[in-house]
Structure 1
Amino acid sequence: MKTFGFRHAGSAAAALAVGLSVVGAAQSAEPQKARNVILFVGDGMGVSTVTAARIYQGQLRGVDGASNRLTFERFPNLALVKTYSADSLVTDSANGASAMMTGVRTINGALGVDATVNRQSCASAIAGRVDTLAELVKQRGMSTGAVSTAAITDATPAALYAHTSARSWQGDFAMPKEAAAEGCVDIARQLVDAPEAMRLDVALGGGATFFTPAKRLDGRDLTREWAKRPDAAFVDTAEGLSKLPKGTRHLLGLFAGESMARESSRPVQAPRLTDMTKAAISLLSQNPKGYFLMVEGGLIDKAHHAGLVRDALNETVEFDAAVDQALAMTDRADTLILVTADHSHGLTINGGHRDSPILGLVTDAQGKPRLAGDGKAYGILNYQTGPGGPKAGESRIDPTTVNTLEPGYRAPAGIQMNSAAHTGEDVAAYAQGPGAERLRGLIDQTDIFEVMREALGIPAPKRAAKP
């Protein structure tokens, strides 16, 4: 059995590191395999986001935020994860998710392919194709599913089933004619047209634009085609999700044209991430051979990109609620639950009294705002880059003149950019259940794949060496 991360010297510690039982003398014990694996990906959920969300959640509950813990922070196994891509120090969601789904690092913007791929090249994507964990799981007769608050064709959920050199090819109208002529198809088609034995059983999120004939160049209604299959259903409302036809085993749910609305403005007809997680587990658990499910909190990242710090934390709290829902529906004895992020964001925590609102200002002992070098107050939470930065010729906004507690508040940024940039520091991974002991120390993002693969007892794919 392979163990990732650091091992401590000494016979007893070393025995623990490889899952041995020490009773007098060390005796080997085969670790229990997982029947199910659920991977939760908080898109853009770096360590500072986790810390701020923990405080925010506690304060929402009226308790001390600093000593609060999110559900997944109570998991017994923890590792730091390196997140670079094959061509950049800072990964995007495509390579990040693809690395976790395939065990192979690729270039930013690519999915389900190795590092030999060329951006926007159809031929190189076909040549560089690698199997995903979802596909390997299906070959064993297990069920698979993806849940996301982003479009189901967006980078992270698409990493389960798509093989492409361009994550932007979500619909056929987004593809260059040359790529289509060479035999590549859009991501939405890759989901619906996959062979029955390889197709996802559950796909819930946004992205209806890419499946329906209003914009598709081929005129196809992929939602209708999905629903024509035996035991299959398509839904587009929260009510439809809660009242599925009896016997449904294959479910496509699309609840927005592209990304779903953030929780702070979610319409009543759209389900929560927690609702979609519950529905997915209910369906997938019908398979006695087990399942693999990926759940993405996709709007954490999208709120960060817009500098909407309260929404980013609110989405992280909802993401944590989805983890709690999964725990309530599964057995720790047979289900590995792993929580991590694909990359981080440049959110910083810059002081504040123990009982200060995490979305508020840094104050002195008398409760008055502390002033920065420009004579203006500053917030506890700020971004390194983003829309909240001063534009050329402008000075920084005084945060005492705005309500920093409102959902639409854009936190200040040091460098003005239309969209906040990802950052390249390590992210955290948390796990419990069979195989969770493999998660420790400092690991590579591709090792997330190996932890899940080994927990399920799936043989290592025969591939070229990882880049």
Structure 2
Amino acid sequence: MKVNVWLLFCCGLVCGGPIKPKFPDQEKDPVFWNNWAQKTLKNALTLQTLNQQMAKNLILFLGDGMGIATVTAARILKGQLSGKSGEETQLEMDKFPYVALSKTYNTNAQVPDSAGTATAYLCGVKANEGTVGVSAAAVRAQCNTTQGNEVTSILRWAKDAGKSVGIVTTTRVNHATPSAAYAHCVDREWFSDNEMPVEAVEAGCKDIARQLFENIPNIDVIMGGGRKYMFPKNMSDVEYPGDKKQTGTRKDGRNLVQEWTNRMKDKNGQYVWNKRQLLSLNPNNVDHILGLFEPGDLSYELERNQDTDPSLTEMVEVAIKILKRNPRGFYLLVEGGRIDHGHHEGKAKQALYEAVEMDRAIGMAGLMTSIHDTMTVVTADHSHVFTFGGYTQRGSSIFGLAPMVSDLDQMPFTSILYGNGPGFKITSGARENVSTVDYEHNDYQAQSAVPLRYETHGGEDVAVFTKGPMAHLLHGVHEQNYIPHVMAYAACIGQNRDHCLSKNRASSPTLSLVLPSLAALLTVAHLLC
């Protein structure tokens, strides 16, 4: 015990001062916890009345790589950014009434990738890793296995039902997650024809960027990165004219942005490539928008130029303003895609700030829609080998040191660690002394157990948070491909529509009040006659 106290004291000195509890004094009173629990219980009891309305709108927020450890750490960070200890904070997704777990494996992989998982939660069927919008009968990188194995997504189901549809992402718009919404491709890396084998192009397989504009030509909202895949090879980028790394990649010479602009000339379509252009639009005068804000992925939130680059929240706000004008409703896919990239690079701070930003976007969507007619689902495609621990004290910086040292090498360690990745460092035959480096730097790579240039995904289940019509159907432990089937059922699109007529009658407050009144009037009239 004496050793632990001494270690806590030493850590306090290293961290810049003695450790002080940051939790409110009221937490010492049992009444505080009892009242909080009773309030939660009363809210839970209200869920006995299930929302079985038909969902006019559907929103799927996908935190790429946002495992449960990431959710918890992001919650703490969100609280600490507002001056609280953090642990007691609620994320927007924490407020959703229903939570489930999703099994994320691909048909050929125990630990999945983002392409096979995207096919599951967007197209409703599990698939092989590295493939998008095709069934497990398709083999990665084998062009001749594409035809006949295509599967359609819920975005397509919604579009066919007359709804407006949109994709908003912080990655390239032709990256793994968004591409499963519109493409059928046996290799997630075929961003443009430049990345495809010659034989695949000659065999008639299409690159993903091309499919974005050809498979579902009238997607109402497209926002993210990926400009260079839309332009002819070596064409200078509008934002980085002197950077050869950002030039166009297409070998076929096509300018897909110009083709889209020409096609949308008489359809109130707008192409934008910076924040000023985006926020200056009047959403009431825009029916279609193509926003490509970077040649590749968008910048991390911590590095974003707030004058020129829109945040995920800003993109979501504009997207919903445009989409909600459709009286038939909309489907919107929103990806916090760079959570995944931060983890792969071992940069937990980048990853967690991305998760907090996505939570802000969830809050914005909640303010702009209603739980009465909008089903919102928040989930992840997979996890990462990311963790935090070490008996840290309440209110400790989520990026700080654990209040102890290793009992083997007598060296300190950060609370955040990775199972593998680029953070593995040996100095003079020993583990790096992290107290001598800036472990709260934006790009600090947390220590890992196994050296890898690129940290890997994790294989455990991920959380599914749901609110709105039919949200109760996402409960317990489910296969990942169940998600779009539930969303389609809620909105009466896709293959589950037999229940819709009776449900509309039963759920209509007007009819439920009017029909009994009409019956009563008819009875009185009969008696009078």
Tell me if the contact between 1:336 and 1:431 (Cα under 8 Å) persists in the aligned partners. yes
C-alpha contact 1:390 1:415 (8 A) present in aligned 2: no
Is 1:148 aligned to residue 169 of structure 2?
yes
Q: Report if the CA contact (8 A) 1:226-1:233 is conserved.
A: no
Deviations 1:103-130 (A, max 9, x none): 1011000001100001112221122101
Q: Determine the C-alpha separation between the residues in 1 that align with 2:376 and 2:79.
A: 23
TM-score (norm 1): 0.89
1:293-338 Cα shifts (integer Å, max 9, x gaps): 0000001000000000111111110010000010011011100010
Equivalent-residue separation in structure 1 for 2:315 and 2:430 (angstroms): 44
Aligned equivalent of 1:101, options 117, 122, 127: 122
Residue 526 of structure 2 is matched in structure 1 by none
Counterparts of 1:259 and 1:244, CA distance in 2 = 23
Q: 1-side partners of 2:471 and 2:63: how far apart?
A: 18
Q: Does 1:279 align with 2:298?
A: no
> Structure 1 residues 430, 235: closer, same or farther in 2, change over 3 A?
same
Over 4 Å off, 4+ runs? 391-394
Q: Distance in 1 between matches of 2:446 and 2:204?
A: 45
Cα shift readout 1:16-72 (whole Å, capped 9, x = no counterpart)? 9xx997xxxxxxx99211000000000000000001111111111111211111111
Of 373, 378, 395, 1:355 maps to 395
**Contact 1:391-1:416 at 8 Å conserved across structures:** no
Once the two structures are superposed, residues 85-140 of structure 1 have per-residue CA deviations (whole angstroms, 9 ceiling, x without a partner) of 01000110001111001110110000011000011122211221011111111111
Deviations 1:249-307 (A, max 9, x none): 11111111111100111123110000111111111111111110000000100000000
Q: Deviations over 1:390-420 (max 9, x none)?
A: 3698532111011111101111111111010
Question: Cα 1:67–1:193, aligned 2, differ >3 Å: closer, same or farther?
Answer: same
Corresponding position of 2:371 = 332
Matching of residues 60-459 of structure 1 within 5 Å: 60-196=81-217, 199-213=218-232, 214=235, 215-228=249-262, 229=264, 230-244=267-281, 247-267=285-305, 268-351=307-390, 352-363=392-403, 369-390=404-425, 394-459=429-494
**Distance (Å, rounded) in 1 between the aligned partners of 2:421 and 2:429:** 15
What is the rounded CA distance, in whole Å, between the counterparts of 2:456 and 2:484 in structure 1?
26
Q: Normalising to structure 2: TM-score of the pair?
A: 0.79
Cα RMSD (Å): 1.9
> Residue 64 of structure 2 is aligned with which of 33, 43, 47?
43
* Residues 278, 291 of structure 2: 8 Å contact kept: yes
Relative to structure 1, the CA distance from residue 332 to residue 195 in structure 2 (aligned partners, 3 Å threshold; closer, same or farther) is: closer
How many angstroms apart in 2 are the aligned matches of 1:435 and 1:394?
57
Q: Distance in 2 between matches of 1:425 and 1:371?
A: 27
Which structure has the larger Rg?
A: 2
One-letter code aligned to 2:290: L
Deviation at 1:82, TM superposition (A): 0.3
Shift of 1:193: 2.0
The alignment partner of 1:91 has SS state of coil
- Aligned partners of 2:407 and 2:332: how far apart in 1? 47
Distance 1:171 1:395 in 2: 45
Mapped to 2, the partners of 1:35 and 1:309 lie a distance apart of 37
Where in structure 2 are there 5+ consecutive unaligned residues? 1-43, 236-248, 498-529
For residue 175 of structure 1, what is the amino acid of its counterpart? M
Structure 1 residue matching 2:285: 3-state secondary structure = coil
| Residue matched to 1:7 | none
Q: Structure 1: which 5+ runs fail to align? A: 1-15, 22-28, 364-368, 463-467
